[in-house]
Amino acid sequence: MIRTRLGKDGPFVSAIGLGTWGLGGRFTADARHDDLCVDAIKMGLDLGLTFIDTAEAYGAGHTERLVGRAVRGRHSDVCIATKVSPEHLRPEDVVRAAEGSLRRLDIDCIDLYQIHWPNSSVPIEATLGTMDRLVEQGKIRFIGLSNFGCRGLAKALSCAGHPVVALQTEYNLFDRTIENDLLPFCRKAGMGLIAYSPLDQGHSPTRGMGAETLVGIADKHGRTVAQVILNWLARVQGVVPIPKAGNPAHLRENAAALDFTLDEEDVAAVDLAFAPRPAAIPAWRVRADTKGLQNFVPGPNELARDIVAGEAIKPIRVVPAPDDPSRFDLVEGKLRYWAWVKAMGAERAVPALVRQPA
Ligand SMILES: NC(=O)c1ccc[n+]([C@@H]2O[C@H](COP(=O)([O-])OP(=O)(O)OC[C@H]3O[C@@H](n4cnc5c(N)ncnc54)[C@H](OP(=O)(O)O)[C@@H]3O)[C@@H](O)[C@H]2O)c1
């Protein structure tokens, strides 16, 4: 596996990493398949996928425990990235969260400690100041951010002590919006870009021009569609994709995804088949419920304030409504959607990515 540096100041990592969201549960612990999950992570490490991404939120902490079991005795060859949740960004909470992650991961130092989501109700300088102290105490090696927009990122960089080495954000063929702003921003700032959900959470296109293009390229090189996608992303300067895989065949494929070279024609064909721009859909045309919004930290009011202040939002995901051609049903981004409506009203077009029904 090729190794690459995360940004100009960051650690050297495998050019394809290993995501862990879902191993041991998504947002609640699921201990039914622990041994299989640990074996999958160990297999990923043996294959060279030595950059592991996890979070205190994954499996409500259980995923970190599984990662800890898998890396026991071999941490020196592995770069472990974990994340502090947005409800834990106050100084005393950051310290408590980091201690919790260290304990569950069973390591002395977190290689990359990332703020999972911004939370503008806590001053970023207080959070980053605490992370600086954690670096100085040897509890974390590098600092990273996740899901920040350009505005929040600029503010964070302006008050950072130790360098912020990477931004983790969604980047895949379905959602290429970061190419317009965040990617050039990170490059200019010398930060790496960790691409999460690089395989669009397993929703590979199955029909249309995108699917035909990917299958054509995969056949030409004797590879799989997932390998073409990962190869395409990893060739973008500064980008490290972190696919999650629990299935041994997937792990093998992902570890070999850079063992071939896409030619200019392949790159251009993928570029053409997958548009980098989201659609703009008047918010009233989107049907969404408000259930569970009170559980989000930050909540819609805080996020609405950020939008009013000029922060761009990650596009919401919609599907055409089956019973009404003028409407779309929301499938992802409930919080962002309601924050947008609060900030901008229902007439303004909300950035949206339209998924075609399977
Ligand atoms: N910072 C954030 O807010 C954030 C948000 C989302 C994700 N993440 C991080 O990014 C990681 C990856 O993103 P993700 O888990 O959302 O989605 P993803 O990596 O895009 O997709 C994972 C899905 O793809 C399948 N898969 C993996 N390799 C494959 C292959 N070679 N061929 C076909 N299917 C394959 C997996 O199946 P199997 O498991 O069955 O192998 C799984 O169903 C996460 O695990 C997490 O660490 C971070």
CA of 270 to the centre of ligand 1 (A): 20
For the CA of 230, the nearest atom of ligand 1? 31
For the CA of 21, the nearest atom of ligand 1? 45
Phi, psi angle pair for 263, to nearest 5° = -85, 175
CA atoms within 13 A on the CB side of 15: 18
Question: Residue ranges of the domains in the chain?
Answer: 3-273, 279-354
DSSP letter for each residue of 152-177 = HHHHHHHH-SS-EEEEEEE-SSS--G
Task: Average the pLDDT over 259-281 and give the result.
Answer: 91
Is residue 53 in contact with ligand 1, taking CB distance under 6 Å?
yes
Tens of pLDDT, residue by residue over 90-143, are: 999 999 999 999 999 999 999 999 999 999 999 999 999 999 999 999 999 999
Residue 212 pLDDT: 92
The pTM of this model reads 0.94
C-beta neighbour count of 92 within 10 angstroms = 9
Please indicate whether residue 113 is annotated as part of the active site: no
Residue 358 pLDDT: 66
- The percentage of residues in the chain with a pLDDT greater than 70, rounded to a whole number, is 99
Spatial separation of the C-alpha atoms in residues 211 and 151, rounded to whole Å: 35
Residue 239 pLDDT: 98
Please determine, for residue 208, whether its predicted confidence score (pLDDT) is greater than 80: no
Tens of pLDDT, residue by residue over 164-200, are: 999 999 999 999 999 999 999 999 999 999 999 999 9
- The residue nearest atom 37 of ligand 1, judged by CA position, is 245
> How sure is the predictor about 205, in pLDDT bands with cuts at 50, 70 and 90?
confident
Is residue 169 in contact with ligand 1, taking CB distance under 6 Å?
no
Tens of pLDDT, residue by residue over 3-42, are: 999 999 999 999 999 999 999 999 999 999 999 999 999 9
> Domain 279-354 falls in which CATH fold?
3.90.1530
Cβ atoms 278, 328 nearer than 8 A: no
Tens of pLDDT, residue by residue over 297-352, are: 888 999 999 999 999 889 999 999 999 989 999 999 999 999 999 999 999 999 99
Local structure of 182: helix, strand or coil: helix
CATH topology of 3-273 equal to that of 279-354?
no
- The residue nearest atom 47 of ligand 1, judged by CA position, is 19
Tens of pLDDT, residue by residue over 50-102, are: 999 999 999 999 999 999 999 999 999 999 999 999 999 999 999 999 999 99
CATH superfamily of 3-273: NADP-dependent oxidoreductase domain (3.20.20.100)
